[in-house]
Amino acid sequence: MSTSSIDTKAFRSLSCGVYIVSAKNGTTMAGCIINTLLQVTSSPARVTIAINKENYTTGVILESGRFEASVLAKSASMELIGRFGFQTSADTDKFADTAHEFDDAGTPYVSENTVAHFGARVIDKVDVGSHFVIVGEVEFASVLSNEEPMTYAYYHLVKGGKTPPKASSFISSESDAEPSANAQPEQPQEDAPRIGWRCKICGYIVKTEELPDDFKCPMCGMGRDMFERIEL
């Protein structure tokens, strides 16, 4: 069947959450954003995650044989999401400025703006193309807050977030799709210029005439030199 018969917008109707999956191998800690975490059995308690093969975190998970998954709350900041979703653990200590704890196996999990966490031992791995589906047997789990969990739809429509290129739901043409919530300009006064700046890494838009020299993207942490001037 030709891929031309697939309307990629249909995938947006699938329900997903926003999670930070993390792991530790020796002194190396890594973590990244995923949107696919599913409970597959209750006895024994097992979950699956889908994670890009190229993610640095993937290697740490497979080498250590363990992972943690933190369920993000609606209150999670774009800065937190950007830190784990648009930067790499290969050269960034994502936990340095992030509240975190360790489970009884020594695996770190994010404890700020999270609803719950699950610590699992890897028991299987399935190659599904760009991603691995990793099956984990849950050995630790606890509720961290009574907040509502963030859905992927909420992240896009309310938070105005973009999909990281290595996410399982990433669509290469997304940059040409409808603008995100934070990109919707207010109705300008007559003849008022409509100028903004867009991050070339994550697509975050700032509605302002000029950006300070020390400006950093609140979503992915990139500096002013990675922003392009646009008309809104």
CATH number of domain containing 231: 2.20.28.10
Kindly give the residue spans of alpha helices, DSSP state H, lying in the chain. 56-64, 78-85, 152-157
Does any domain span residue 176? Answer: no
Cα distances (Å, whole numbers) of residue 36 to 67, 102, 125, 167: 14, 22, 15, 9
Residues 140 and 54 in one domain: yes
What is the count of structural domains for the chain? 2
Residues 191 and 115 in one domain: no
105-114, 123-132, 210-219: the lowest-pLDDT one: 210-219
Q: How far apart are CA 163 and CA 225, in angstroms?
A: 21
Q: The domain containing residue 209 runs over which residues?
A: 185-232
Q: Do the beta carbons of residue 50 and residue 133 sit within 8 Å? A: yes
Q: How far apart are CA 50 and CA 34, in angstroms?
A: 7
**151: confidence class by pLDDT, cuts 50, 70, 90:** very high
Phi, psi values for residue 145, rounded to 5°: -160, 170
Q: Per-residue pLDDT tens for 73-85?
A: 999 988 898 889 8
Closest CA to 53 of 44, 65, 62: 62
Average pLDDT for 155-178: 60
Average pLDDT for 123-139: 97
Residue type, 219: M
pTM exceeding 0.85: no
Q: How far apart are CA 117 and CA 140, in angstroms?
A: 8
